[in-house]
Structure 1
């Protein structure tokens, strides 16, 4: 009986995790620069492994698309409205995809030896395989034509969609601590919003069973999801900023984000009451309410921009005068450029 109760509790908790909102906070890590370079090296290894998997899946997909039978089945599937026939055609398409190794299972299994070759943790390799397969799905079922390689210098994120693997989280001295391999690091809290978010995560980690039980009870009794602020998983994002590598941590948290306040403690985003209408254009946004009508520019052109634009116009005009003075043979009397092949002197 206890096993049945635990099974039912786990099922409802899983349903709560699926229904609840999620948000992400971004904070810079406090790891030393030597560890930052190691993270960058790991990111580059993941890029190379992903490119190798992309090449394999791309080759299989190209071979599949070259077959006349598969293209004919795609055409019939798109033009048929009978659901029974569409189901038969879908099964045939799936069988052909299996025969040409264009499936998620093949993508996942192919990544295992590639990840071992580059010395990548299995959870990071699995996450990269998911990214590659997401692109392959767009080619199979969407408007995508082919999947592309990552260029040299692009640093993919290091993500493990399990908080207990890859980049586990713990609490030490009432602070969040993360680990990548044997290296432990924390995050730099920059403002009050991040502090509120971290405190909410710490309060969940102090008593996770109580918070989960409260969430399950609320879902059963009131049919809505509370904000538990459970840390779901962490992602490391290396970036090159002004010639120096920096690593940011993206922490995915369960629940809605905390409200933001200004330096005086007032809410930054206040909600009013009543109906409004808004029309968002490419450069402006127009709004109207019962008491106010307005038009705002989405991107204001300040004095500094206008000054630089004027300097740019003057430079272009000077360049044009110089080009005309040194190449008069290439212009007509009315100032237009002559047709045909010309030799320019600068």
Structure 2
């Protein structure tokens, strides 16, 4: 079981050879299939549950403890809870007869499905989608340090008897963050696409608080901030300024527009039968053909947006650290950042004001 103590994440790149890459690809593909099977079973149970008399009676009850208790009883009867989804995922893994991932990873996949299904059940999000072969899973994690194991003496991650070396920077921060007295709760394998190529990383979830990089101000120091579409104004007893939230983000809109036009021309040249004479797309299910050049263009566009997001995140972190070094208590008015997107689309797209405020609160 995972403990509920505080923790932080240390991410390290993995040095993967061809054999290990095939193993990881196979494991992630099986994880995707397991996710889809678990989600399909859960959605089927949800549909059958909503057709029962007990669920309709609970729905028509006035809000209160009795209604919540009735809903909980119906959910438990159909196994629509975290334990039920974990059991479903593990049962699918056993029925498959495959040994690509273990029971701990299957349990984590079941918990991921449950979080998506819970948002849908309680009208906090849309209907969860199945993972396509093209997109796949982005990460697989264990529940403790016994399946995907961190082995510092080997300088490797061991998963299903495969020892995968990691690259650890030789810095003071990293030495303190992964000291011998720090306990690694569990590990997470992450797959990312960088410049059109797959890269593998391991995220170590370490118990405790991370080493201090910045000295934050005490809580008695109060800072008030007023966010706008692209800048914030902050005020402290000894500091006041108006600063850009993401000064290093350059959208390069002309470059994006040219790339999108090249992608559109490639799509039309390879799929002439999917368009009407006036240039609009034919309605209905269509089969699309993508050329190698078209795939390279799509990868180039995705890499451009990935770099923008990484730059934006770095600028947000720097500004958050600067503000917390001035004041330990941040006061901010309640704003609708969805409204910012509607009214200041270009500025909000560049700066990500809602994401910055979420980072600051976290």
TM-score grouping bracket, smaller chain normalisation: 0.5 to 0.7
Gaps of 5+ in 1: 1-13, 205-228, 261-268, 317-341
Could you tell me how far apart the structure 1 residues matched to 2:35 and 2:278 are? 48
**Following TM superposition, by how much is the alpha carbon of 1:250 offset from its aligned partner in structure 2, in angstroms?**
0.4
**Matched pairs, number:** 256
Which residue, 108, 125, 133 being the options, matches 2:106? 125
Out of 226, 230, 235, the position equivalent to 1:279 is 226
> Could you tell me how far 1:191 is from its partner in structure 2?
5.7
Which residue of the other structure, out of 47, 54, 57, is the alignment partner of 2:32? 47
- After superposition, residues 242-261 of structure 1 pair within 5 angstroms as 242-260=195-213
TM-score of the superposition, structure 2-length normalised? Answer: 0.61
Alignment of 1:170-185 (within 5 A): 170-172=151-153, 176-185=155-164
CA distance in 2, matches of 1:93, 1:110: 20
Instruction: Find the partner of 1:97 among 65, 71, 75.
Output: 75
Partner in structure 2 of residue 147 of structure 1: 128
Match of 1:187 in 2: 166
1: CA distance, partners of 2:123 / 2:240: 42
Distance 2:236 2:168 in 1: 39
Match of 2:10 among 18, 25, 36: 25
Question: Where in structure 2 are the equivalents of 1:167-316 lying within 5 Å?
Answer: 167-172=148-153, 176-190=155-169, 192=171, 195-197=174-176, 200-204=177-181, 229-260=182-213, 269-271=214-216, 274-300=221-247, 309=254
Aligned alpha-carbon RMSD (Å):
3.2
Distance 1:42 1:180, change over 3 A: same
**Off by >6 Å, runs of 4+ in structure 1:** 310-313
Who wins on radius of gyration, i.e. which is larger? 1
Are the structure 2 counterparts of residues 170 and 68 from structure 1 closer, same or farther at C-alpha, using a change threshold of 3 Å?
A: same
Q: Which residue of 2 aligns with 1:220?
A: none
Aligned-partner Cα distance in 2 for 1:201–1:80: 49
Give 1:169 deviation, angstroms.
2.3
Equivalent position of 1:65 in the other structure: 50
Q: Where does structure 2 lack aligned partners over 5 or more consecutive residues? A: 262-276, 280-362
Q: Do the aligned residues in 2 keep the contact of 1:36 with 1:245 (CA within 8 Å)?
A: no
The normalised TM-score by structure 1 is 0.64
- Assess if the C-alpha contact under 8 Å between 2:15 and 2:165 holds in 1: yes
Residues 21 and 256, structure 1, Cα contact 8 Å, conserved in 2: yes
Q: Is the contact between residue 37 and residue 245 of structure 1 (CA under 8 Å) also seen in structure 2?
A: no
User: Are 2:93 and 1:115 equivalent residues in the alignment?
Assistant: yes
Distance across 2 between alignment mates of 1:40 and 1:310: 33
Give the deviation of 1:202 after TM superposition.
3.7
Matched residue, 1:219: none
Deviation, structure 1 residue 281: 3.0
